[in-house]
A and B are shown apart, each in its own frame.
Chain A
């Protein structure tokens, strides 16, 4: 017995040596990667060495980060870790819950009343400056409420619906002219269809389609029937943002569908910030990249100007986050010109733009998370030059 124990120890010792020895040699010969797709970030490069950086500790700090970032088969290790976490009963990681049916769901925390108020006031204030434009605000609930039943039991996630109701009440008190487009009931009714991605924080094109129907009803226009579109699957290998954020691995990827009108129409899409003009709403090249959702309108831009052949002559301003990118294609069926502004990038005065362009309608479209977290919405009426 004693001999066996001693043999076991010896073998364990040798195994330890073999393991750390092999891994360090493998690490030495593994070529460095500059970017991690699954984490969506730049990996640390070999740090600059100088006596100064060594003395301040900057070198050693960067070097440690470098060793971790460039560790051989990094993604495999990370996947193994979250798998073990799952086995141990862990159901969330980095604020992302692992829900039923492979749904990753971002947590939601109720905001303070003041945070809600200042955001509503910003919109009301903008309405005072531009009273001639009919305004609609659509705040999109996310999987945290739509797929509440798929969350792990007792997950401490706050109620998005209650916050939406609070915002609506506040808005109606402050500026009843602004229409609050409540898409919750319509989306919730379709919760068993795939209206949100399982690995990304966005809604799917079909989710956007249902919201578009609600918007049309509010705007008094007749939405196009689903049968008017060819539903075209452009990828089935989309791993989105919350997949990266959570670190959970070994999940099914998402598919992205495009709703292409059966009746072909010409349109002009001008990316004003880049000075680039195309004739399509979709950038198919982005399907080969990490962020495949950028297939819609090539991601986020300060100002995109879309001109269609639609004869009404109506002009729409959309102030939005990325949720709008997959909904705007539907709206091109009803407006002659659509200006799409992302306040996170737009540096000129929006009031001025609105005055010059003489829009008929304006749509504020955010998902409830961005709306409550993004601070740029607070400055609807200012310009960047005022802010800084």
Chain B
């Protein structure tokens, strides 16, 4: 798999892909895009392409069968259930078998061997997409896709293949067969892409260095200030990393004529945790809402049922992020808080001043990131302890003060960029100076691109955080 934030993607794959795509006749564009996406995916780990293609063919057939037997509901239902089981089995086999076996072993003192396969990249994303296709067809929301290349393009579409957004089939079906491609739309895509690239390469990667250094310091040597700086660094890192990737996906989508949904909407400005999850990884939340929460009955079958539905959905959301108890705990943590908010806290929050809601939300989210980052719950507890002075050596040591002076400017920049302020400034400049504003804004994006290149050349090692999901 290629990474957007790499020289090889930026200066070789992307220009080549755009060139082939735009020169090829309209009829062949999907085929070209599908082929290009497969190259993108197969790069470095060609074996797993088989699973991707299998998933596509499997659900292509299922979609057609469901449609064919629509009048004989029992057969259609059987195919549908078979498809869901098949998809979940693939996901389960590659992602959760090791975890389940390990837990069974510990629980019953067994010695089962788990196959230790590396997780196929993007499998959590694309199985959710193929499932959305089959479900949408079964529900009669969309007609089945008779052209397998078109369905393949949907599943493998390289801009969103590895890190989302998770596009529901119903939302994109129309674009798969006809899309508008104009220079302006391309330019809009370029703007999103450069912005996303900047978030990832200039912001996330740089502040990530601080978290890496804090995380590698033995806990007993960590001061309270260092712990906070570290987890704040991670808070920014994961946001700019993931939202940067989503922005790049959206931008690339536009360059190829697609309109992919927004995946992030300034989540750290939320005034409640419920709101946070409407602004963070929006496409995942909406997938779970549409395909799990509502089918379970949502909020229509009494409070008790609603609460249990919430907890189910949130535990699954947690586990979706990784096969490990800490992700389960992380999901459950948010499930409980969202439930509490539903019961009474939201009402209270609306009555209190805004800053209370902001602070409360950030606090919950930041503590949540500790659970997310430490695979061992005991380590997470210990780290949280340090944050609140329990077991910490001192309040602030040299290292912490040095990091604060080194990264202080960066933190200011990160805070600004987590709000819509830079965007607003760009708009103001563009409006105020007309043509001149256009020149300034374009120049800014180009300077950004040059800096991004400088950072990419400087980093030979550039892993993407959401790789193994």
Contact = CB atoms under 8 A, between A and B. Distances in A.
A158 to B, nearest CB: 10
Interface residues of A, number: 51
B398 interface: yes
Contacts of A78: 454, 457-458
B46 A92 contact: no
B407 interface: yes
Given A55-B46, A60-B43, A67-B12, A12 B451 contact: no
Contacts of B45: 57
A11 interface: yes
Contacts of A153: 402, 405
Interface string B437-455: 1100110011001110111
18 contacts: A4-B434, A7-B435, A8-B187, A8-B437, A9-B188, A13-B255, A16-B445, A19-B446, A20-B15, A64-B6, A68-B457, A68-B460, A77-B454, A77-B457, A89-B405, A152-B402, A152-B405, A154-B401
B406 A10 contact: no
Contacts of A64: 6-8
B460 to A, nearest CB: 5
Given A16-B193, A154-B402, A9 B184 contact: yes
Interface string A1-29: 10011111111111111011101100100
B218 interface: no
B44 A57 contact: yes
A100 interface: no
Contacts, number: 155
A19 B46 contact: no
B43 A11 contact: no
A273 B451 CA distance: 48
A154 B184 CA distance: 50
A42 interface: no
Given A20-B15, A81-B458, A10 B184 contact: yes
Contacts of B434: 4
Most B-side CB within 10 Å, residue of A12, A15, A61, A156: A12
Interface string A159-195: 0000000000000000000000000000000000000
A21 B191 contact: no
B187 A20 contact: no
Most B-side CB within 10 Å, residue of A11, A27, A55, A65: A11
B417 to A, nearest CB: 13
B336 interface: no
Interface of A: 1, 4-17, 19-21, 23-24, 27, 54-55, 57, 60-61, 63-65, 67-69, 71, 74, 77-78, 80-82, 84, 88-92, 152-156, 247
Given A4-B430, A64-B6, A77 B453 contact: yes
Contacts of A8: 187, 430, 437-438, 441-442
Nearest to B444: A12
Contact of A54 (B46, B194, B413): B46
A17 B193 CA distance: 12
A268 to B, nearest CB: 46
Contacts of B190: 9, 12-13, 15-17
A219 to B, nearest CB: 39
B445 A27 contact: no
Nearest to A63: B8
Contact of A20 (B10, B186, B430, B438): B10
Contacts of B438: 4, 7-8, 11
A9 to B, nearest CB: 3
Contacts of A54: 46
A14 B441 CA distance: 14
Given A11-B438, A12-B441, A14-B187, A84 B454 contact: yes
Nearest to A13: B187
B399 interface: yes
Contacts of A6: 184, 187
B449 A91 contact: no
Interface in B328-364: none
A68 B7 contact: yes
Contacts of B449: 16, 19
Interface string B397-434: 11101100111111001000000000000010011001
A117 to B, nearest CB: 22
